[in-house]
Amino acid sequence: MFDNNVEPINLTRYLINLITFILICLVLIIWQLTFIPKALASVDDTNNPVKIGSFLTPGLIEEDGTGLLNKLNNALFMEMNKNVELNLSSVNRVRRGINNGQLDGYFPELWENLPGKKTQYVVSRPFFYKRVILFTLKSSGLTKLSEFENKHLGVVKGFSYGKRIKSNPHLSLSFQKDDITNINMLLNGRFSGVLGGYPGTVIAVKGNNRTNEIHYDLDKPVAILESFYACKNNPDGVKLCNSITKAIESLLRKGVLELNEETGFSRFNPPE
């Protein structure tokens, strides 16, 4: 005898299997529509260069890429596994760049120089400390900033010296176009001292044939300023500056970068 229930049971199983197959296909299609575009976007983000702005600074940022911070910038983005496009321009144009969308971020920046409101920006952790150094004539016996009340100090236009120095009413600051001018005026008795930094002012001193007459101590800065990357305060900017911070911390752990907040000591050891 034949069981009359066989055909309905087989049909029911067929329908269940068909519905299950359709549901699996729908899940796969939805997965493809959501995950694959994100994956492609991630690949595209990796391949597209990050546009970083900066400005020429003797010994640190050079047009030919040989500056110390040129190399550090490259090392950081290699650590991030990202391509970077460095755009050199004037200081003001660079600072406007992240607000008008031409740049993703820029460096080096200091707290006192951030244009507009600080809430417009996010910044990386410091990647370098800027030491403000006092340069004097050995014959003067002057070695401390406190000894310069009402004495002329040569400084460079556009160079940052920190709020404590800029707002000191007892210091007479004379702004010149560059370090070479300031060192020459120091040697000619026009200035009692010069405020500068490393390596820019040191290069100017060593390039002068009277270098032995000048006193300075890199281990005793008169001010220490944090130098960092600045990004726009939006989701992309936050992500970029956070990634740069992680890369800085990675180089610190590897010993490629050395920083001391208390002394301002900063050293970058480029990989061979």
Tell me the pLDDT tens digit for each residue of 129-162: 999 999 999 999 999 999 998 899 999 998 889 9
Nearest of 108, 72, 110 to residue 248 by alpha carbon: 72
Does pTM surpass 0.85?
no
Which H or E run contains 272?
none
pLDDT digits (tens, 9 = 90+) for 196-247: 998 889 999 999 999 999 999 999 999 999 999 999 999 999 999 999 999 9
222 vs 163: CA distance, rounded Å: 12
**What 3-state class would DSSP assign to 9?**
helix
CB-based contact 112:162 (threshold 8 Å) = yes
pLDDT (tens digit per residue) in 51-79? 999 999 888 899 999 999 999 999 999 99
The rounded distance, in Å, linking the Cα atoms of 29 and 168 is 68
The CATH number of the domain covering residues in 129-223:
3.40.190.10
Beta strands 84-88 and 50-54 are parallel
Q: How far apart are CA 72 and CA 256, in angstroms?
A: 9
Nearest to 124 by CA among 216, 237, 257: 237
